[in-house]
Amino acid sequence: MPVQILPSSEAVTEVSCDALVVSAFQSETGFELSTAAAEVDQALDGYLSEHLKDLSFKAKQNEVASLPTMRRMGSKVVVVVGVGPHNEVSDASLRTAAGAAARRLGERKVIAIALQEGRGAGAASAVAEGMVLASYRYTAYKTDPKPAKIEQILLLGEDGSAAERGAAIGQAVLLARDLINEPAATLTPDALARRAQEIAAAEGLTCNVLDEQAIVERGLNGVMSVAKGSDVPPRFIELAYTPERATETVALVGKGVTFDSGGLSLKDGKNMETMKTDMSGAAAVIAVMSVIKRLGVKVEVRAYVPAVENMPSGKALKPGDVITHAGGKTSEVLNTDAEGRLILADALAVAAEGKPAAIIDVATLTGSIVIALGNDIAGLFSSDDALAAEIEAAADEAGELLWRMPLHADYRRQLDSEVADFKNIGTRYGGSIVAALFLKEFVPDEIPWAHLDIAGPARSESDSNHGPKGGTGVATRTLITWLEKRGR
């Protein structure tokens, strides 16, 4: 059951709920209560501020304290979350503050929240989004799952539409997380395609799935070559959102490797442990598509998801093999573990055929980007400064971290091949850049293109204010924000 978000005009002290969340600001003297927190303090005869002082509460960003209300208010408990100094409060900081508070709510089901206090629609949306993100758990395989925690969020003093937007975006991210966290045994390329079809039917999108035969006929030989070592067949998923009077068409591409064993260039056990998440790019793209109609995005969006399982077998792709990709360019496969670029090559070529105004691909493409930027930050590569700036601004607004990386043209030489147009690997160094340069070969120069290497942040190694350990659904929120802004 998705969390229900309801606007409410009830007074903070009267609203009936399991927990009331209010904010406090950091100040020179320690903390300063927000208007709502001050009302609570008054209802409790000053005991809230007394208690916070006693705890040496500073109202630092995401600092949380709670106090039972002894039946003197509608809420059973009041949770105060710090949002830092007044002048540093932003939609993004309120989003994490909401998440920080949500983590401390235990099993409480009905939550009233007054964090956004007159900060406008962006803040209301961010707060709702933060609560939804933090409420996520993956329970599909728990025999005794803890009941869903938060069931209802009453957003005090707001009209509902902004909160609904935030909640809808949050739900889209949770959809991505569910897809990512599902084991590869059941989330096969075909299962992913069926999920995309269900979503398209429910959300008013068009969906076209190419099966093995159609993939061969269409010449998607990168997809076919990676898939052929596996017992499960590949799928090529196309989703389209076509609003009336669309201002332009843009394309999204997501890497959908439902399991990456490395193929014959087999990974070791440790490196394979998390490889069910190698379809995180696909999950983000499908999640974006699932919600943009409801958000009223103004641009037409075409999404392309090559979905395969990368396995070793007697039928598998071999080092030394040559692939003729969609569009005719050839690659020499020297490492079958560099499979993402082989399937994305076909997808980018197909996306480019429609001459979109921009193409963005999202992929857990290289371990190298994790070495460069660590687990929290995605790499942004783009041939177009304006597009890169748009994506940076969208990520900033969405509260996702990315860093622009150079498409250093000289490294392209590393891909020179004696037998084909290019090899699929370069040297050990700068591997994420070389991978991006490989992808660039499949996008015509005149189409603005960007590539997000999300191998680091696609999966979180620990619980955070935005959700638990596991698939994060990263890039979903940045792409949605980018699409919303694009049509304005």
Residues 6+ apart with CB under 8 A from 231: 311, 313
Burial level of 427, CB count in 10 A (0-12/13-18/19+)?
exposed
Asked whether position 431 contacts ligand BES by CB under 6 A, the answer is yes
Q: Which of 405, 455, 479, 483 binds ligand BES (CB under 6 A)?
A: 455
Of 129, 158, 238, 260, which lies in the binding site for Zn ion, with binding defined by CB under 5 A? Answer: 260
In terms of CB distance, is 335 or 417 closer to Mn ion? Answer: 335
Q: Which does 425 bind (CB under 5 to 8 A by kind): ligand BES, Zn ion, Mn ion, none?
A: ligand BES
User: Which ranges of 219-316 does DSSP label H, i.e. alpha helix?
Assistant: 221-227, 269-272, 280-292
Look up residue 66 and give its two tokens: 């709670």
What are the tokens at 24? 């406090």
Closest CA to 484 of 265, 294, 229, 295: 295
The least CB distance from residue 339 to Zn ion, in Å, is 6
- Cα(398)–Cα(479) distance, rounded to whole angstroms? 9
DSSP secondary structure string for all residues of 458-481: TEESS-BTTB-SEE--TTHHHHHH
431 binds, among Mn ion, Zn ion, ligand BES, none (CB under 5 to 8 A by kind): ligand BES
Q: Is 399 a residue that touches Zn ion (CB under 5 A)? A: no
Q: What are the tokens at 125?
A: 């949306």
Q: Please state the closest distance from residue 276 (CB atom) to ligand BES, in A.
A: 11
Beta bridge partners of 323: 331
**Separation CA 433–CA 443 (nearest Å):** 16
Quote the least distance from Cβ 465 to ligand BES, whole Å.
23
Per-residue x/- marks for Mn ion, 308-337, CB under 5 A?
A: -----------------------------x
Q: Which of 91, 260, 397, 453 binds Mn ion (CB under 5 A)?
A: 260
Q: Strand 359-363 relative to strand 378-382: parallel, antiparallel, unpaired?
A: unpaired
Q: Which tokens hold the place of 374? A: 């660590």
Under rule CB under 6 A, residue 361 binds ligand BES: no
**Maximum separation of any 2 CA atoms in the chain, in Å:** 81
- Using the minimum distance from each CB to Mn ion, give the nearer residue, 33 or 347: 347
The entry of Zn ion, Mn ion, ligand BES, none that residue 335 binds, CB within 5 to 8 Å by partner kind:
ligand BES
129 binds Mn ion (CB under 5 A): no
Dihedral sign (CA 339, 343, 346, 350) = negative
Q: Nearest distance from residue 336's CB to ligand BES, in Å?
A: 8
Task: Return the structure tokens found at 137.
Answer: 């758990």
Does the footprint of ligand BES cover residue 278 (CB under 6 A)?
yes
Contacts (CB under 6 A) with ligand BES, residues 324-343 = 335, 337-340
User: Should residue 417 be labelled a site residue for ligand BES when binding is judged by CB under 6 A?
Assistant: no
Query: Looking only at residues 463 through 482 of this chain, which bind ligand BES when binding is defined by CB under 6 A?
Result: none
d(CA 408, CA 405): 9
Stretch that binds Zn ion, among 74-82, 122-130, 259-267, 385-393 (CB under 5 A): 259-267
Closer CB to Mn ion, 244 or 268, in the complex: 268
Going by their DSSP bridges, the two strands 17-27 and 30-33 should be labelled as: antiparallel
**Total chain residues near Mn ion (CB under 5 A):** 3
* Partner from ligand BES, Zn ion, Mn ion, none contacting 366, C-beta within 5 to 8 A by type: ligand BES
- CA gap 294, 287 in Å, rounded: 12
Residues marked as catalytic: 267, 341
Report d(CA 4, CA 132) in Å as an integer: 9
Among 366, 414, 465, 476, binds ligand BES (CB under 6 A): 366
Separation of alpha carbons 353 and 351, rounded Å: 5
Q: For 196-299, list the strands marked E by DSSP.
A: 206-210, 235-241, 249-254, 256-260
Q: Does 18 bind Mn ion (CB under 5 A)?
A: no
Nearer to ligand BES, 13 or 368 (CB): 368
Kindly tell me which of 34 and 424 has the beta carbon lying closer to Mn ion.
424
Least distance CB 364 / Mn ion (angstroms): 9
Task: Determine the residue type at 233.
Answer: P
Q: Which residues bind Zn ion (CB under 5 A)?
A: 257, 260, 278, 340
Q: Which residues bind Mn ion (CB under 5 A)?
A: 260, 337, 339
Q: Which residues bind ligand BES (CB under 6 A)?
A: 260, 278, 335, 337-340, 364-368, 370, 425, 431, 455
